[in-house]
Amino acid sequence: MAQFKTDLRDIYFTLFNVLKIQNHTDYSENDMKDVINECNKFIEKEIYPSRTIGDQQGVHLIDGKVTVPAAFHAPLKKYYENGWYGIGYAEEIGGMPTPHAVSLACQSIMNGANVAFAMYPGLTRGAMDVILKVGSVEQKDSIIPKMMSGEWGGTMCLTEPGAGSDVGAATTIATPNGDGTFKIKGIKIFISSGDNDLYQNIIHLVLARTPGAPAGTKGLSLFIVPKFREDGSVNDVRCTKVEEKMGIHGQATCEITFGSNGDCVGVLIGKEFDGMINMFIMMNEARVLCGVQAEAQANLSYMLTEQYARERVQFGKEIAHHPDVKRTLIKMRSMSRALRLLVLYTADLFDRVHADKSLQDEIAFMTPICKAYCSDEGFNVAIDAIQTHGGYGFCSEYGIEQFARDMKIATIYEGTNGIQAVDFTMRKVLKDNAKTFMSVGAKIQKTMARPEAQIFKEELALIAKNLEKAQAIVNRFGAEALAKKPDAILFHATSFLSFSGNLVASWLLLEAACEAIKSLTTATNEEEKAYYQSKMLDFRFFVQQQLVKNVGLSYSMLNFVEDLSELNV
């Protein structure tokens, strides 16, 4: 397995030069760097070594018990003991209340090192966040301390056989017992971290219907269903299958059967019929985390590929100096850094929204881009990593092919990328008459007007043309067309999200390039200068090689066939 590498310099540049998170937190820049640096050291020493062996050992269901790779146990214990799980949480519950962007940067490093491992505390964080926001005082007091200590884990249980992405078709039933508890009966599938031997207890958040509930998602309520009850007795919750998957072999993806013996007890969290609203607290975080999973693995796979290309000699010189390989490396670097900018920019919005509530709409706008664009393009970076390693990339020797296998799921779970595209187009753009889309466009224009940006004449012209096309596409997709032929718009939703992702990524790379130009004036050595120049090259290359794809995408969206019956499948 290749040596672990993290581009801390680029993480710090993104956080402190581009996003300037130090301006809206009580933490000093050095303190935040120390947190990330120490977390990176821990992950390199304790978590990264478990990546390959965890992939090889996998998860097993034997005699009703689920075991995860043995190599995961010690690192997870140390992860909690060292306080890394508590990053981003309030001190009163035992956390370290860093900015969200710092917390996400640390989660990114861990997801790059071993995404299958990272998902166990990741799912627990998601479940805990729901309990913190909508749970009763009693629920918080009994569950949160156990989750913070690492004794208890958590899951989210939505998907059912036959229902798939159609959550509203769920049939799991919650019948009142008359004492405030409910009898839960049903089957949930594809449950990440669904059962394991890492935690003493697992808290399942389960979507279910109460008797007489309305059909569809409006009739769903959310329930806390523990693997073990308060008295230590076993609840009627069983893992009945562990999925064999293309990747994330160390992650326990389970079929969970609730109440097969009629004795599964759960309690309502939040109000009845608010199940989807409350679950989306977790779902939206999970969708951003999907983007992080892809961004993280894209960045690490690039770092390892660059290292390999500088060492591998072919035709008398390192392959990094061969033109096509150099092109591929710049392509990988510019995209992986763009994805980092996307997820950390969005994470920073979560901090800034407290002072500016209008940013809530931008968070909603950016979430499907983080999830879908990052996972689509991050997977492409992983494929380029394999290609650059040649035959060694296709083999398991360097651990490169694992990135592609582990990353692909991010395009599928937490709402497929097709569903993200529909949500983005119909709800995040058209529903508010593109108000948020245009406010982001105004930010892009502001960056384009920066003095430092003026050296990029041709690139700015292409971005300006993209903004014009964006307005034309929104008009084309507008109210009149939406009312007449909504399916025709849905047909192009994925293209629209890709178009928007390319545009937003170009903007953020431009912002980074402008900050690099400013920093060049105070650079003290050649290595520092080379880094800042690479940021400028990233932007130019991305616009010339990636943003230009929007020319074709815009043509197809502006000339779409309104009657899909004309298109045969």
Instruction: Count how many residues are written for the chain.
Output: 569
Amino acid letter at 293? Q
Q: Which two tokens stand for residue 90?
A: 């309030």
Strands (E) in 126-235, as ranges, are 152-157, 173-176, 181-192, 201-209, 220-226
Task: Yes or no: say if 499 and 470 are a contact pair by the CB < 8 Å rule.
Answer: yes
Task: Yes or no: say if 14 and 512 are a contact pair by the CB < 8 Å rule.
Answer: yes
- Return all residues near 461 (Cβ < 8 A) that are at least 6 apart: none
Task: Yes or no: say if 260 and 188 are a contact pair by the CB < 8 Å rule.
Answer: no
Task: Yes or no: say if 195 and 204 are a contact pair by the CB < 8 Å rule.
Answer: no
- Cα 157 to Cα 123, 203, 268, 282, 303: the distances in Å are 11, 10, 14, 11, 35
The 3-state DSSP class for residue 152 equals: strand
Residues 421-441, buried b or exposed e (16+ Cβ, 10 A)? bbbbbbebbbeeebebbeebb
The 3-state DSSP class for residue 60 equals: strand
What φ, ψ does residue 354 adopt, rounded to 5°? Answer: -65, -30
First to last CA, the chain: 44
Task: Yes or no: say if 387 and 297 are a contact pair by the CB < 8 Å rule.
Answer: no
Q: Which two tokens stand for residue 325?
A: 């390989």
Q: Which two tokens stand for residue 232?
A: 């230590």
- Cα 360 to Cα 346, 353, 382, 512: the distances in Å are 11, 6, 32, 23
The 3-state DSSP class for residue 216 equals: coil
Task: Yes or no: say if 196 and 68 are a contact pair by the CB < 8 Å rule.
Answer: yes
What φ, ψ does residue 203 adopt, rounded to 5°? Answer: -95, 110
Catalytic residues: 414
